[in-house]
């Protein structure tokens, strides 16, 4: 297929595809799906080999967010029966992070619900970052706290944060249909603040909210322009008790095409499969590793994910390897540029010293919903998937998190 040959050539040169080419990837048929995966896989392996980076979420403050992001279980007015608790103490957060790091994660994403942090909140998170880094040499820490005020990104950087996550989530033209309590421009401003402070920027999207192909291409091209080091791709988990509870628009094939399009548009960036992979990719998750080079380990912010042990087995069975703490995530030209991924020495991926940030699930006003990179909820794994050719709602795959941070039960890592 000439289209795929062209996209591979452009990906290897870091050349931006045309919008028409990106849209054509989303429009390919199921008969061509394996060809699409194979083509995007060539680009992924060129820049990242067969390594898979593991990231771990710690929900520092859950629920009761004043923002109205339609996709988020922590939103204003949410009736989802999620865990609700205020700020974890630094030692509690460090203990939670240790479980993920023991499971093979090299990056911890610290997420908190809310519109954005107060200066006192920044102090709290700074203390938590220090506690985690004091006990775990070389760990990468990403913060995901919502909209940043002037000077806050610099303070987080000084405290040892390597990255900051704030997702664009959807296209500028449809953003007002999803959230009304802040704007798309607010989100762009926070990503730019993180960049300017020397933090590795992490920003991604949520697919499956009823958007068009054009909307998906718009948000991915906007992300390419912002130039984050990592792009989390979340797949909407239609949480009961939220406005988008009935939006079951995704199939495994659709998810794979979206990931392939993101890889072609952002060839040398850490593409992360975030929230929703268990619910929507289901048994096709191993194929997605040919497109993305990063995943979350275990549970998400407010929902259960696939067991950490199953994640590790999946990676090995698919012929990939877990990226070690001594390996640099990003290609040399990005890792040497200045930011964590750009700021070489502490590098995103530069695992050199303390790498950089990740993102997380759906954080609510804080990262308005799909927070640190993953999107609201993750979904529990293990039950049978729907029959081929159907896309019936799989509410059985959505389970509220009842373990880990904010509980007395051991986390799933």
The binding site comprises 65, 69, 72, 109, 142, 202, 272
Give catalytic status of residue 255 as yes or no.
Answer: no
Task: Out of 142, 356, 364, 372, pick the active-site residue.
Answer: 142
CB atoms within 10 A of CB 77: 9
CB atoms within 10 A of CB 355: 31
Contacts of 322 (CB under 8 A, 6+ apart): 51, 52, 54, 104, 312, 315
Give catalytic status of residue 266 as yes or no.
Answer: no
Task: Out of 44, 51, 69, 282, pick the active-site residue.
Answer: 69
DSSP secondary structure letters along 46-113: HHHTTEEEEEEEEEEEBS--S---TT-TTSTT-------B-PPPHHHHHHHHHHHHHTT--EEEEEE-
Task: Out of 144, 202, 255, 356, pick the active-site residue.
Answer: 202
Task: Out of 65, 144, 255, 340, pick the active-site residue.
Answer: 65
Task: Out of 44, 51, 75, 109, pick the active-site residue.
Answer: 109
Task: Out of 72, 144, 348, 364, pick the active-site residue.
Answer: 72
Which amino acids are annotated as binding site for [4Fe-4S] cluster, given as ranges? Answer: 65, 69, 72
CA 14, CA 36: separation in Å to the nearest integer? 18
The single-letter DSSP state of residue 7 is H
- Please report which helix (H) or strand (E) contains residue 393, including its range: none
Name the 3-class secondary structure at 202: strand
- Please report which helix (H) or strand (E) contains residue 165, including its range: strand 163-165
Task: Out of 51, 187, 257, 272, pick the active-site residue.
Answer: 272
CB atoms within 10 A of CB 174: 18
The single-letter DSSP state of residue 293 is S
CA 335, CA 340: separation in Å to the nearest integer? 7
Contacts of 284 (CB under 8 A, 6+ apart): 252, 253, 255, 256
Which amino acids are annotated as binding site for [2Fe-2S] cluster, given as ranges? Answer: 109, 142, 202, 272
Give catalytic status of residue 72 as yes or no.
Answer: yes
What are the residue numbers of the active site? 65, 69, 72, 109, 142, 202, 272
């Amino acid at each position: 297929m000439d289209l795929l040959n062209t996209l591979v050539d452009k990906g290897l040169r870091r050349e931006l595809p045309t919008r028409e080419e990106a849209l054509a990837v989303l429009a390919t048929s199921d008969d061509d799906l394996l060809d699409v995966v194979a083509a995007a896989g060539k680009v992924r392996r060129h820049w990242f080999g067969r390594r898979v980076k593991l990231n771990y979420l710690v929900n520092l403050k859950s629920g009761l967010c004043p923002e109205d992001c339609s996709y988020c279980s922590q939103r204003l007015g949410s009736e989802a029966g999620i865990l609700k608790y205020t700020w974890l103490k630094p030692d509690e957060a460090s203990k939670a992070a240790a479980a993920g790091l023991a499971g093979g994660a090299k990056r911890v994403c610290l997420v908190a619900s809310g519109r954005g942090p107060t200066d006192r909140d920044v102090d709290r998170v700074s203390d938590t970052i220090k506690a985690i880094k004091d006990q775990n040499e070389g760990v990468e820490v990403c913060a995901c706290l919502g909209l940043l005020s002037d000077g806050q990104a610099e303070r987080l950087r000084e405290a040892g944060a390597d990255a900051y996550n704030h997702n664009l989530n959807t296209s500028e033209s449809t953003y007002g249909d999803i959230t009304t309590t802040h704007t798309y421009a607010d989100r762009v401003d926070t990503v730019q603040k993180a960049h300017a402070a020397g933090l590795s920027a992490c920003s991604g999207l949520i697919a499956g909210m009823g958007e068009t192909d054009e909307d998906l291409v718009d948000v991915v091209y906007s992300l390419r322009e912002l130039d984050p080091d990592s792009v989390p791709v979340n797949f909407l988990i239609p949480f009961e008790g939220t406005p988008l509870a009935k939006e079951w628009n995704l199939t495994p094939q659709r998810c794979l095409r979206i990931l392939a399009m993101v890889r072609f548009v952002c060839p040398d960036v850490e593409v992360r499969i975030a929230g929703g992979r268990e619910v929507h990719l289901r048994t096709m998750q191993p194929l997605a590793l040919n497109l993305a080079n990063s995943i979350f380990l275990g549970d998400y912010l407010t929902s259960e994910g696939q067991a950490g042990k199953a994640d590790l087995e999946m990676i090995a069975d698919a012929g990939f390897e877990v990226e070690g703490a001594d390996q640099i995530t990003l290609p040399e030209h990005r890792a040497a540029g200045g930011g964590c991924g750009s700021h070489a020495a502490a590098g995103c991926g530069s695992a050199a010293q303390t790498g950089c940030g990740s993102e997380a699930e759906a954080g609510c006003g804080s990262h308005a919903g799909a927070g640190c990179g993953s999107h609201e909820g993750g979904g529990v794994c293990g039950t049978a998937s729907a029959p081929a050719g159907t896309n019936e709602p799989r509410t059985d795959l959505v389970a509220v998190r009842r373990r880990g941070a904010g509980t007395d039960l051991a986390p799933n890592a």
